[in-house]
Amino acid sequence: MKIVVTGLGIVSSIGIGKEDFWSGLISGKSGITEVSGFDSSGYRTHRGAEIKNFDPSLFMSDYAEKGRASQFLVAAFSMALKDSGLNLDLVAKDMVGVIAGTTMAEAQVIEEINRAWFFEGMDKIDPAKVVMSAAHNIPDSVCFKYGFRGISMIMPAACSAGNYAIGFGCDMLKQSRAQVVFACTSDSFSRIGFAGFNRLLSMAPDTCRPFDKNRKGMIIGEGSAVLVLEREEDAKKRGAFIYAETAGYGLSCDAFSMTAPSAEGIERVMNLALSNSGINADDIDYISAHGTGTISNDKAEAQAIKSVFGKRYAKVPVSSIKSMIGHTMGSSSSMEAVSCCLAIKHSVIPPTMNYHTPDPECDLDCVPNEPRKKDINIAMNNSYAFGGNNCSVIFRKINSST
């Protein structure tokens, strides 16, 4: 049984909607600017990939009752639904699954609660904010809007959450526990995340340079992405456009460090994804890297790619779109999944921007600074998270040989 992607929706710092997002990727547009959402003068760094032009009123009337992450998701969801061409009147409401991933959940709402508590006292905390702060509000925001009564789940699997949601969604469909699954993610730019990664000394002062010898760290971003998943026979029956098949995925935990990556764990999860998909490493045409721009992560990922792909490693195009959209936390791998689907559709690999000085320890084909025309039958999407939570998903052009 094949599970396919039939709809895409995205809210990002380089574009809202798949067309603007893709245009931004292939033009090398940067969403990284000076932080404007709060005063960053007390921090080591001052740049982030914030979404500047998002108007929630265009997508919902009750936006004031939702946190920013939920607002993002409702917007991305509505775009994905429209893109899929699904007629929800023909789908049983209890057979629709909404699986959402996140890292920080509604962090901005939690900040508002903390400020009220600290400066005014507990009695001044708005009870509505307490309700809004719960992580489950993110998937529930669309379930309530559309009346879905199937599985609504939040996956707080940090930076791998998007790929986790895709993998779980595929399993639900294969087990006939759903007719349609919306694999979603959402994270908003927050003081909590910005302060935390500054304290961990993980943030770059200027921009994100994945795999470059002079890389200095990550740049925090925000956004949401939604992929509509269906069984191939259902999609073809209703004449849907199919972006790609989700051929398989791999999951692993490094059990090594809460923050540091493990090359062995990254290698293992890529091999698990290949095995689960029934695909040989020689058949991979493109790798969407986790590529955070930190010294340790990029080095470990490059080492793992070399181990998995052997002598062929330098011939496999690898790029990191975090060089443009920043690290969007729980949304990162689903945004990269959207990028993979569009790369397969358009036969174009998005570039790794800001790559100027090769690093001998990361001597990959990083598709530097310019998009590359290439037929892509099979793409691998890598994600690695704090706690050593890893997930790789493989996408395949639906008409390619299996």
Buried b (16+ CB within 10 A) or exposed e, 349-383: bbbbbbbeeebeebebbbbbeebbeeebbbbbbbb
Q: Give the dihedral of Cα atoms 123, 126, 130, 133; nearest 10 deg.
A: -140
Contact 204, 216 (CB under 8 A): yes
The rounded distance, in Å, linking the Cα atoms of 166 and 112 is: 32
The amino acid at residue 242 is I
The set of catalytic residues is 159, 290, 327
Angle formed by the axes of helices 295-309 and 263-277, nearest 10°: 40
* Helix (H), strand (E) at residue 384: strand 378-385
The rounded distance, in Å, linking the Cα atoms of 16 and 12 is: 6
Which of 178, 6, 170 lies closest to 80, judged by CA?
6
Contact 76, 224 (CB under 8 A): yes
Contact 182, 98 (CB under 8 A): yes
Contact 184, 100 (CB under 8 A): yes
The amino acid at residue 112 is E
User: What is the chain's alpha carbon radius of gyration, rounded to the nearest angstrom?
Assistant: 20
Dihedral sign from CA coordinates of 393, 394, 399, 402:
negative
The rounded distance, in Å, linking the Cα atoms of 371 and 368 is: 8
Please, what is the Cα angle at 216 between 215 and 217, to 5 degrees?
105
* Helix (H), strand (E) at residue 373: strand 372-373
List the structure tokens of 92: 């049983």
Beta bridge mates, 152 = 98
The rounded distance, in Å, linking the Cα atoms of 75 and 14 is: 15
Task: Name the E strands within 117-261.
Answer: 152-155, 180-187, 223-231, 244-253
